[in-house]
Amino acid sequence: MLSRPKIIAVVAGFVSAVGFAPLDLWPVTLLAFALLLHLVRAAPNRRGALARGYWFGVGHFTLGLNWIAHAFTFQDKMPWWLGYGAVVLLAFYLAIFPAVAAGLAWRWGRKDGLTLALVGAAAWIVTEWLRAILFTGFAWNPLGVVLIKPGTAMLATVIGTYALSGIVVLLAGCLLLLADRRGARAGLFRDGPAISALALLTVLLGGPALVKAMASTPVKAAGPLIRVVQPNIGQEQKHDPAFDRVNFERLATLSAKPAPGPRLLLWPEAAVPDFLEQEAWARDRLARLLGPDDMLLTGGIALIGDDQDRVIGARNSLFAIGYDAGIAGRYDKAHLVPYGEYLPMRPILSLIGISRLVPGDLDFWPGPGPRSLKVPGFGKVGVQICYEIIFSGQVVDRRDRPDFLFNPSNDAWFGPWGPPQHLAQARLRAIEEGMPVVRSTPTGISAVIDADGRLLATVAPAKAGFIETRLPPVHAPTPFARYGNVLPLAFAVFLVCAAIARRRFAR
């Protein structure tokens, strides 16, 4: 049986996830995290604090990741209801990270509300970063993404997404201080210097970025012409050979005839089922959609063979196809989705009836990581296929900075919650890197995002359509683009130092 504080923690965690897309109720998230800090402060011991943080995490991730259950409805080999169990099991694992953050906050900050907020924010930054890198990483829904709607996400240009998550915890701590009558009577003026220092730091870090976000208007782009295609091909049709011709005709129709001048055509992840490197006829029919100066970027599959020409694996790839039907370049996805693109411990799990969510018995192999793809006539393109775009600080080759990021994706199997959450995280990458992001998906949400994270154009979910526009300009590298996740970790260290100073000042 769960104790009353643990039940409250589960409910608070569940409610905290409504700040993510598509609901975007970010004030509720702040209140829920303020309640978490209160529960942690009131815990009788470290074990109690860990438990309250853990059960908060279970609720938080169960609702926030509910879209994963929808993926199981497309897998005939496993029952659809197994998806809900998978969400809860994943939440049980991911809740370890909020538990650690809560335990650290209790250990060093339980006697003082402001110290609790400072240590809690620092711990959340570090544990969220660890969540993104341990065991291949699962960075979905960083807490800082809830600040996309109020517009304060421009802070990410300076301190990155994980530090933005720490800002959310700090704001929740401020709410707790305001709600604490004892703190209001006895501690408000005592906390003044520390609060003023935090406010000054926020202004110094984020002030210029926020002023720019509020004062600027979308720039009229002068880049090359791009056409982003969304064919509205559902997951139930995508892997059915009977629909191959119909699906290609949709893509071809939405791509339209070549226009005068160069045009970059952008198709979704795995848009074509053909093996483009082996099948010349497949490249030829793609080339017929292009003008002499056009290029097509399309998702596809690259086969991996052994010395005896046997197929032993595959790569989830993006191909650059030219008017001459040649392959001008290829990018291979590096961050693969466990159970989606490969089956861990395949010999064991296959015996008990567990299979990949994507049809097929051939596992995908990972590529080398971020690199810029040189597309003749269109400069350098950074490619992040689907899930890869969620990994803050891991999306750009910093030694060869691209002109924009292309994020071909397949969100068709993630229900109504997954696609808007994916889009919000892509917007954070644009802000962090100071770089436009273009998304093409089969069923939505396809989008063109400028280097300030603004949505310039979208195609609504479950609709066929296209976006034809000029590519937005890239900004000079932001501080985060230069130094990456060193900055949020440095911010966490600063918060710890502020907490130590606060404790000494309190004595």
> 6, 174, 238, 269: which one is catalytic?
269
Q: Which helix (H) or strand (E) holds 227?
A: strand 225-230
Note if 269 is an active site residue: yes
Q: Are 169 and 143 in contact (CB under 8 A)?
A: yes
- Give the C-alpha separation, 187 to 181, whole Å: 9
Phi, psi (degrees; rounded to nearest 5) at 338: -60, 140
Answer for the pair 291, 258: CB distance below 8 angstroms, yes or no: yes
333 is catalytic: yes
Tokens representing 83 are: 């998806």
Q: Round to whole Å and give the CA distance between 57 and 95.
A: 4
Q: What backbone torsions phi and psi does residue 374 show, to the nearest 5 degrees?
A: -80, 115
Give the DSSP letter string of 71-97: HGGG-TTS-TTHHHHHHHHHHHHHTHH
Instruction: Report the alpha-carbon distance of residue 140 to residue 131 in Å, rounded.
Output: 9
Q: Of the residues 333, 341, 388, 432, which is catalytic?
A: 333
Q: Where are the beta strands (DSSP E) in 119-224?
A: none
Alpha-carbon distances of 387 from 114, 140, 215, rounded to whole Å: 36, 9, 32
Neighbours of 346 (CB within 10 A): 14
Q: Please, which residues bridge with residue 375 across strands?
A: 379
Out of 341, 386, 388, 432, pick the active-site residue.
386
β-bridge pairing 437-440 and 404-408: parallel
> Is-catalytic flag, 432?
no
Q: Which residues participate in catalysis according to the annotation?
A: 269, 333, 386
